[in-house]
Structure 1
Amino acid sequence: MKKRYRLGCALMLMTAVSLNAQKKSSNLETYEVSRTLPVVDTIELKEKLLLREQEIARSNTARKKQPFLYKEVEWDSTLQNLNDRKYAAKIDRLWMEELTNGSLYDSITALVDDTEYEDVDYPELTTKVLKERLAELDARTPFNVEYNPSLENVIKGYLKRHKPTLERLMGLSQFYFPGFEETLDKHNMPLELKYLAIVESALRPRAKSRVGATGMWQFMFNTGKLYGLDVSSYVDERMDPILSTEAAAQYLSKLYEIFDDWDLALASYNSGPGNVSKAIRRSGGRTNYWNIRHHLPRETAGYIPAFLATMYIFEYADEHGYHPAQPDVNYFETDTIRVKETITLQQVSAYTGVSLDEIQFLNPAYKLDVIPYLEDKEYYLRLPITAIGPFVANEENIYNTAKKELERDEKTLPQYLEVPSSVTYRVRSGDYLGKIASRYGVGVSQIKRWNNLRSNNLRIGQRLSLYPNKPVATSSSKGSSKSVTSSGEKKYVVQRGDSLWKIARKFPGVSAENLKVWNDISGTKLKPGMTLVIAN
């Protein structure tokens, strides 16, 4: 009896050790995911990875046995539509909405412009603790991170009033900061300069200021050209995160050579070296930023405090209880492909199964969602790593199909590429962005970008610059014209249980993405009774 008991205990102990070892192994394998999405079942994630590996294997086998089929490059979309993956799909969708949401740029712009220096009551952070932490930052960075009451009030104001905004920015930074740090390290520059992109643009590649500064690093047209950033009718490399970061590193390095002080270099990056030189003269030759701040433009006066406050909060996020949402660590593993023929981002989305929003996010430099092909210039398409293989394997067929589609669709795009012409549209009563976009065959986001619109609101008489994808019908147009006009629109009233996908299936040739563009819908929620415009 005792022998059996000892044997049973030994077996239980061995089982417990084995299970514990498996658990540790599992924790190591899924740490990054469980850290950010603790409710996701790790077994489900492993099943998803296994399904993807099996699908890739089947795709490769089929590719060897049969000629190219259009459906073959859509393998990834089937994974996204599995019923038992709804939670993962929801997480991906919400994260993509966060990445493409422009509200953060407005928030950070207001935050910098309206920086306040009055006393802020925030007992959670004492002056003594703040002084100690600022001294630590000063010791490990080349910036002048010195305590002063004004900086204390800015930091406490951010902590008290702007936690949601900064927490969202921390989540976004997980994707961009590794690339920033690599570039800054290559130029032997302080890695903390990465925080400058938050103050400049809230990490928005397509951010555009009131004066025309564009991209994450807010380059003006001439400065961008000076540092090798190509700006044309189709491409704006100021919006390319990699190229613009390289240019920003070169520009900041040059400014530091001039002023030999990072505070002054940052101030001149924002307002120009001339304004900083004037401020130094007006302050009697002083070169300390805090002494010349009152002689700088208003937005620059709040610039350095905003930068230092952002650096402090990011560096001490844990101490202040910040818990930013983060994407699945493998979600944005990407690679690039050199484009060999003209292709639109919409076509890439259709051929790869990757959502148009994600492709636009990964390729923000293509202003008109068209990647042109020029013999003397190389352009690249960035895709998730999972879509690279199918695209490369079917590259020739994809370009042939894309070319035929462009020739078939009224031959508007080739003409459009050769002679890019703009149209000035005057807003009338009853107009809205979705209606105007459908009429001219463009996207709502494009109209907003071309006209530097921060919201969807329009006023009667407002003039909009448009670059139409299709000709607009006039009184002399022939009956065979396929252009969209108000008389060619259909109306659909949303019923209970409807979704964009279900409604799109009712109308041949219409996609859910079309419905979102035509009706200026940013999300996927519909309300019964809503009237949707269906362009002809």
Structure 2
Amino acid sequence: MIIRKISLAVSVFFSITVFAQNTANSEVKPEVKISYLDSVKNSFVKNDLAICVDSLWMNELTSLDIYDDLTKDIQTINKDVTVDQELPTELLKQRLQAMNEKSPFEIEYNQGLENIIKSFLKNRKKSFSRLMSLSEYYFPIFEDAFAKQNVPLEIKYLAVVESALNPKAVSRMGATGLWQFMYGTGKQYDLKIDSYIDERSDPLKATAAASEYMTRMFAIFGDWELVLASYNSGPGNVTKAIRRSGGKTKYWDIRNYLPKETQGYVPAFLATMYLFEYHKEHGIHPQRALIKNFETDTIRIKEKMSFKQIADLLDMPQSEIELLNPSYKLKIVPFYKDEQHFLRLPKDKIATFVNNEEKIYAYARYDSNIYKMPSRLAQKVTPKTKTKPVKVPEPVDLESYIVQKGDNLSSIAQKYDVSVTDIKVWNNLKSNSLVLGRALKIKPKDFVSKPSEIIKKPTETAVASAEISDKNEIEVEYIVKNGDNLGSIAKKFDITLSELKEWNNLTTNNLALGKVLIVSKKENTVAETTVVASNSVDSFKKKATTAKTVGQDYYVKKGDSLYSISKKYPGVTISDIKKWNGIKDEDIKPGMKLKING
């Protein structure tokens, strides 16, 4: 009996299984549509090598805060002020002597140099950790260019002082790139500068130009410290300093006759060299290298392409393409007739690009045509979607924060959980530099605009909605759209400008796109138990009203307005009163007799 029950259970189980399989096989799977981009990528011939890049880390390394901090330090640092930092003077002298023995620079101890080294150690250890990571990519480029011109390889540290190894760095005077060339100097050394390209930001070409400059200046001064001084202040100022010093030709002898910034420039260069040489001894640990130069290669681009198109096709962060190709100003690789333009990419991405070149160019052409579609045509072919009204919070008082020693925008932003961009906008800052003791305006976190709260442009149909307020009134709201002003809105809803301002506490005539305005207030009556939300101004004007009070006269009192009078009679509008009394404007006077529903 037991065996018979087991057999029956097994047979039932297998029957259910077979039935389920047949049912699953009989189901028709819905067809999934994929985009043109996905179809192109699915057809790519792929190679096995893959490099994982963290885009957030990329943004961190390419930020300009280190450049701003170091630039400010070099311009304001006081070499005569002793810094309290643990570094025995005798030990420092020994290390500087060791550096001097293997360098063409005359590196000798002085109190000013010690103060700058200790200042960097005290305030910029984290910055140098990040800079050493970037140096693994840029220093091989510098060393290769300098070796060809017999320029000391130690001059690679000058790029740290000049730009904090940021090829996109731009000074207040307009100097640009790793080596901070001015426009005229860049043109003098055949660096191309136009709307699409700025080769002052190209690591290879700008370094070659810097190497040529150093060679020419050494032929004039015969001293590498003076070459560096001329790079900062110009050869003319160095020549004047030599004359004022009585003909002395060593940097340390003429330093006090040079411009103030240049007096700290060469010591800052030597201090940077020291920190790179002895970073382990001071507990400075380089952050992980993002990418190394020998892991990249270039390819000639045959058609105009954007960085976004390349990033989408090759599945890589756009920020990585920007880091490797900083000379393209608009994030576009242009195509000029009889000129060649190259794109630098990781080697595995180069392989993917070469193997699928025609497909990539075809997609770029297709994507560019979509992008260039006229806006009016795009509106016709794009389905209209209803936009949900979003109330924009009114401005609130800003908190104040006093800048303290060691602060930077990043640390302050982190403290208040806001972005650096927000702080710069609130305080009208054009750079990341901060002055000690400055009061910064900070918005509380709850009032910081999030990207998701940005109001999309309303469709042609205005959005009006009615709400019953706590004061037994019906309030009708209107969302400001493009082209609106207070006059047009008041006319549209048959109200006065003063009423519109009063209801919305407006002190000026300026309106923000997406702002929610109260455009009507009516007393709530028993007959108005249901309020209908309308999506157009026309239907709003046609909304049902209660029965009007019949055959009454009203004498205008002091302080009355057509709006206040209309509120006294449920269902009566301002236009009704105007019509019944032949009034063309808002001008009514005390004692005036008005007919109500005459």
TM superposition score normalised by structure 2: 0.55
Deviation of 1:296 (Å) = 2.0
Equivalent residue for 2:40, pick from 69, 93, 103 = 69
| Structure 1 residue 173, shift from structure 2 partner | 0.9
Query: Offset at 1:283?
Result: 2.3
Q: Pick from 218, 241, 259 the counterpart of residue 297 of structure 1.
A: 259
Give distance in 1, aligned partners of 2:282 and 2:322.
34
CA distance in 1, matches of 2:230, 2:292: 38
Over 3 Å counting, the alpha-carbon distance change for 1:387 and 1:289 in structure 2 is same
1:113 is the counterpart of 2:75: yes
Q: 3-state DSSP class of the match of 2:70?
A: helix
> Could you tell me which residue of structure 1 aligns to residue 215 of structure 2?
253
Pick from 196, 219, 238 the counterpart of residue 200 of structure 2. 238
Q: Partner of 2:250 in structure 1?
A: 288
More helix by share: 1
Counterpart position of 2:457:
487
CA distance in structure 2 between the aligned counterparts of 1:195 and 1:284, rounded to whole angstroms: 31
2:122 maps to a residue whose letter is K
> Aligned residue for 2:99?
137
Q: How does 1:71-470 map to 2 (within 5 A)?
A: 71-73=42-44, 92-122=54-84, 124-327=86-289, 333-411=295-373, 457-458=424-425
Give the Cα–Cα distance (whole angstroms) in 2 for the partners of residues 350 and 77 of structure 1.
19
1:292 positional shift:
2.2
Task: Compute the displacement of 1:119 (Å).
Answer: 4.5
Once residues 426 and 261 of structure 2 are traced to their aligned partners in structure 1, the CA distance between those partners, rounded to angstroms, is 28
SS in 2 for 1:215: coil
CA contact (8 A) 1:332 1:384 kept: no
State how far apart, in whole Å, the 2-side matches of 1:129 and 1:256 are: 32
Cα distance change of structure 1 residues 172 and 401 upon mapping to structure 2, 3 Å threshold:
same
Aligned-partner Cα distance in 1 for 2:170–2:68: 10
CA contact (8 A) 1:342 1:371 kept: yes
Task: For residue 192 of structure 1, report the CA deviation from its aligned partner.
Answer: 0.5
- The structure number with the bigger radius of gyration is 2
Change in 2 beyond 3 A, CA 1:331/1:379: closer
Could you report, residue by residue, the CA deviation over 1:134-179 in whole angstroms, capped at 9, with x for unpaired residues? 1111111011101111111111222222211122211211111111
Alignment-mate amino acid for residue 112 of structure 2: S
Shift of 1:277: 1.2
The one-letter amino acid paired with 2:253 is N
In 1, Cα distance between equivalents of 2:357 and 2:58: 26
Mapped to 1, the partners of 2:120 and 2:87 lie a distance apart of 12
Name the amino acid aligned to 2:96: L
**Partner AA of 2:350 in structure 1:** I
8 Å CA contact 2:55, 2:317 repeated in 1: no
CA shift, 1:287, in A, is 2.1
Amino acid at match of 1:151: L
Q: Following TM superposition, by how much is the alpha carbon of 1:460 offset from its aligned partner in structure 2, in angstroms?
A: 10
Contact 1:336 1:383 in 2 (8 A): yes
Unaligned segments of structure 1, at least 5 residues:
1-67, 81-87, 414-428, 431-453, 464-483, 490-532
CA–CA distance in structure 1, aligned partners of residues 292 and 271 of structure 2: 31
Give 2:177's aligned amino acid: G
Distance 2:230 2:293 in 1: 37
In the alignment, the residues of structure 2 paired with residue 69 and residue 193 of structure 1 have an alpha-carbon distance, to the nearest angstrom, of 46
Change (3 A) 1:290 1:330: closer
Q: Which amino acid aligns with 2:227?
A: A
Change (3 A) 1:100 1:330: closer
Alpha-carbon contact 1:183-1:249 (below 8 Å) kept = yes
- Contact 1:73/1:353 (CA < 8 Å) preserved in 2? no
Q: CA deviation at 1:329?
A: 6.4
1:229·1:236 contact (CA, 8 Å) conserved in 2?
A: yes
Q: Do the aligned partners of residues 251 and 455 (structure 1) sit closer, same or farther apart at CA in structure 2, a change above 3 Å counting?
A: farther
1:205-245 deviations in Å (ceiling 9; x for gaps) = 01000000000000011111111210000000000111111
Runs of 5+ in structure 2 lacking a partner?
1-38, 376-393, 396-419, 431-453, 460-513, 515-598
Distance in 1 between residues matched to 2:292 and 2:111, nearest whole Å: 43
Cα 1:79–1:146 change in 2 (3 A) is: closer
Q: Secondary structure of the equivalent of 1:69?
A: helix
Shift of 1:284: 2.3
Distance in 2 of aligned mates of 1:214 and 1:76:
38
Following the alignment from structure 1 to structure 2, what is the Cα–Cα distance between the partners of residues 168 and 330?
Answer: 14
Indicate conservation of the 8 Å contact 1:174/1:326, yes or no: no
3-state SS, counterpart of residue 335 of structure 1 = strand
The amino acid that maps onto 1:381 is L
Offset of 1:266 from its aligned partner? 0.4
Contact in 1 for aligned 2:138/2:293 (Cα 8 Å): no
Aligned-partner Cα distance in 1 for 2:87–2:63: 31
Separation in structure 2 between the aligned mates of residue 330 and residue 208 of structure 1, nearest angstrom: 24
The runs of at least 4 consecutive aligned structure 1 residues that moved more than 4 Å come to: 73-80, 328-332, 459-463
Query: 1:79 & 1:408 partners in 2: Cα distance?
Result: 31
Distance 2:364 2:93 in 1: 61
Q: Which amino acid aligns with 1:227?
A: Y
2:137–2:292 contact (8 Å) kept in structure 1: no
**Identity within the alignment, %:** 47
Question: Could you tell me how far apart the structure 1 residues matched to 2:299 and 2:455 are?
Answer: 38
Matched-pair contact (CA < 8 Å) for 1:76–1:354: no
Q: Deviations over 1:22-80 (max 9, x none)?
A: xxxxxxxxxxxxxxxxxxxxxxxxxxxxxxxxxxxxxxxxxxxxxx8343349699978
What is the number of residues matched between the two proteins?
356
Q: In 2 relative to 1, CA 287–409 (structure 1 residues): closer, same or farther, beyond 3 Å? A: same
Amino acid across the alignment from 2:75: D
Alpha-carbon offset, residue 409 of structure 1: 2.0
Does 302-311 or 289-298 show the bigger shift?
289-298
Residue deviations 1:310-347, cap 9 Å, x none?
Answer: 00111111222211112266797111000111111111
Alignment RMSD? 3.1
Within 2, Cα distance between the matches of 1:303 and 1:173?
A: 20
Aligned to 1:519: none
